[in-house]
A = this chain, B = another copy of it.
Amino acid sequence: MTEMQKMGQRAKKASQVLATAGKTKKVALFAIADALVNNKAKIIAQNNIDLKNGEENGLTQSLLDRLRLTDERIEGMAQGVRKVAEFDDPIGSVISGRVAENGMEIKKVRVPMGVIGIIFEARPNVTSDAAALCLMAGSAVILRGGKEAINSNTAIADVMREAIASVGLPEDCVQLVKDTTRQSSVELMGLSDYLDVLIPRGGAGLIKAVVENSRVPVIETGVGNCHAYIDKDADIDMAVNIVFNGKTQRPSVCNALETVLVHKDIAEKALPVLKAALDEKNVELHGCESVKAILGDCVIPAEEYDWANEYLDYKLALKVVDSLDDAIEHIRKYSTGHSEVIITNNYEAQRQFTAQVDSAAVYVNASTRFTDGGEFGMGAEIGISTQKLHARGPMGLAELTSMKFIITGDGQIR
């Protein structure tokens, strides 16, 4: 039995206790939050080792910043854990129920997933965020973070495990994979005897690798090549507001806008206003020939790459389309199925767009930046699912659970 299999076995054992732990889960989460705060110095000391290694290994300033833990950031992590503890426990809630003709009562109830694996990249705060959500959802978790943050993650996981044990739950409810070589990811992806689901959190490359190689069921999260379509019947000011917000409020996130499609009948009026707004933030424009004809030489000619990829930066792809059908066709071809918006005052156009665009979140006249667990009323979220199985869109606590049927009778046979 490999080390990873042993971890899987311990996680499964712990998950059986956690499945019926009820409100002790909340007690554990509050203990974790306090422990994180009380152990700030220890965590920061370990984080400093990661930062020093990172500098020596030439990590960019932006990566170093994501890696850095401060008193304030650790307080924030603790606050995040407390917030999760305040949610309603999803476990045991009855999803649906009926009495069969023969008198059997058939209930469908929410139960824990069991053991959840999470593979993530640099940010050490994911360690406490993800663990708290899994724990509240009644599942044991095996975390496998990036090597850049291994010392920070280990310190955080140790603090959490101690806190969990202090309230009488198995410390193996939370485990961190210490081996950060590629091999450990591969082993985790093959751990189908113990893991019920594997969730990758990170960039497109990580997600693709997990989806393609995992034998454990995967929930695909996050990549968002999001589109706005400005219809011929759009209110131009509203359109500009929504695009400006979607592109510039926080360009590095998955629900940020990446491409804007503009109906030809409104392009000459809308594009200059849009450009003026985006100029405030020095957004680099990549456009088709028609866009270039209207806006001039400031527009960089768009290539296949511009339509197909997330910039996650102050850059925007712009295209003039002949019709709503063409806009939908473009979205079908290039969208990653995350979030898309139509800006229009035309009733038929919004009906067609919402019916035919097949993405996790389809908007009419509102910013794609709202695709978020908090905004959708789920409290926290573990990620945004862009696949169609199990969960689609923001995944909160409920989406981290499974269900089972409980059937009670008095001797019914078939």
Task: Tell me whether A414 and B245 are in contact (CB under 8 A).
Answer: yes
Tell me the chain A residues, 78-117 only, with Cβ under 8 Å from chain B.
98, 100, 104, 106, 108, 111, 113-114
* In the complex, A346 has a CB within 8 A of chain B: no
* In the complex, A272 has a CB within 8 A of chain B: no
**Number of interface residues, chain A, beta carbon within 8 A:** 68
* In the complex, A336 has a CB within 8 A of chain B: no
Distance to closest chain B CB from A63 (angstroms): 26
* In the complex, A26 has a CB within 8 A of chain B: no
Task: Tell me whether A411 and B98 are in contact (CB under 8 A).
Answer: no
Most buried by B among A359, A364, A413: A413
Alpha-carbon distance between A326 and B376 when the two chains are bound, in angstroms = 44
Task: Tell me whether B106 and A408 are in contact (CB under 8 A).
Answer: no
Task: Enumerate chain B residues within 8 angstroms of A106, measured Cβ to Cβ.
Answer: 376-377
Task: Tell me whether B114 and A388 are in contact (CB under 8 A).
Answer: yes
Question: A270-306 vs B: 1/0 string, CB under 8 Å?
Answer: 0000000000000000000000000000000000000
Most buried by B among A114, A249, A409: A409
State which of B111, B238, B406, B413 has its C-beta within 8 Å of the C-beta of A242.
Answer: B413
* In the complex, A266 has a CB within 8 A of chain B: no
Q: A19-B358, A364-B408 are in contact. Are A392 and B388 (CB under 8 A)?
A: no
Alpha-carbon distance between A365 and B16 when the two chains are bound, in angstroms = 24
Task: Enumerate chain B residues within 8 angstroms of A362, measured Cβ to Cβ.
Answer: 404-407
* In the complex, A367 has a CB within 8 A of chain B: yes
* In the complex, A217 has a CB within 8 A of chain B: yes
Task: Tell me whether A369 and B414 are in contact (CB under 8 A).
Answer: yes
Q: A217-B217, A218-B217 are in contact. Are A409 and B358 (CB under 8 A)?
A: no
Task: Enumerate chain B residues within 8 angstroms of A358, measured Cβ to Cβ.
Answer: 16, 19, 111, 114, 404
Task: Tell me whether A377 and B98 are in contact (CB under 8 A).
Answer: yes
* Minimal Cβ-Cβ distance residue in B for A403: B392
Task: Tell me whether A242 and B411 are in contact (CB under 8 A).
Answer: yes
Task: Tell me whether A113 and B388 are in contact (CB under 8 A).
Answer: yes
Alpha-carbon distance between A232 and B269 when the two chains are bound, in angstroms = 81
Task: Enumerate chain B residues within 8 angstroms of A38, measured Cβ to Cβ.
Answer: none
Distance to closest chain B CB from A225 (angstroms): 15
Task: Tell me whether A402 and B392 are in contact (CB under 8 A).
Answer: yes
* Minimal Cβ-Cβ distance residue in B for A109: B354
* In the complex, A124 has a CB within 8 A of chain B: no
Q: A196-B389, A389-B196 are in contact. Are A365 and B217 (CB under 8 A)?
A: no
Task: Tell me whether B114 and A387 are in contact (CB under 8 A).
Answer: no
Task: Tell me whether B389 and A217 are in contact (CB under 8 A).
Answer: yes
Q: A409-B366, A411-B242 are in contact. Are A389 and B389 (CB under 8 A)?
A: yes
Task: Enumerate chain B residues within 8 angstroms of A392, measured Cβ to Cβ.
Answer: 402-405
* Minimal Cβ-Cβ distance residue in B for A394: B405
Q: A332-B16, A375-B414 are in contact. Are A366 and B407 (CB under 8 A)?
A: yes
Task: Tell me whether B412 and A366 are in contact (CB under 8 A).
Answer: yes
Tell me the chain A residues, 220-246 only, with Cβ under 8 Å from chain B.
235, 238, 241-242, 244-246
* In the complex, A334 has a CB within 8 A of chain B: no
Alpha-carbon distance between A211 and B216 when the two chains are bound, in angstroms = 9
Closest 5 CB pairs of A and B: A366-B409, A245-B413, A388-B402, A390-B390, A369-B414
16 cross-chain CB contacts under 8 A: A20-B356, A100-B375, A104-B366, A108-B393, A196-B389, A211-B215, A238-B411, A244-B413, A245-B413, A245-B414, A360-B404, A364-B408, A366-B407, A366-B411, A367-B414, A376-B405
Chain A interface (Cβ < 8 Å from any Cβ of B): 16, 19-20, 98, 100, 104, 106, 108, 111, 113-114, 192, 196-197, 211-212, 215, 217-219, 235, 238, 241-242, 244-246, 249, 332, 350, 354-356, 358-367, 369-371, 375-377, 387-390, 392-393, 402-414
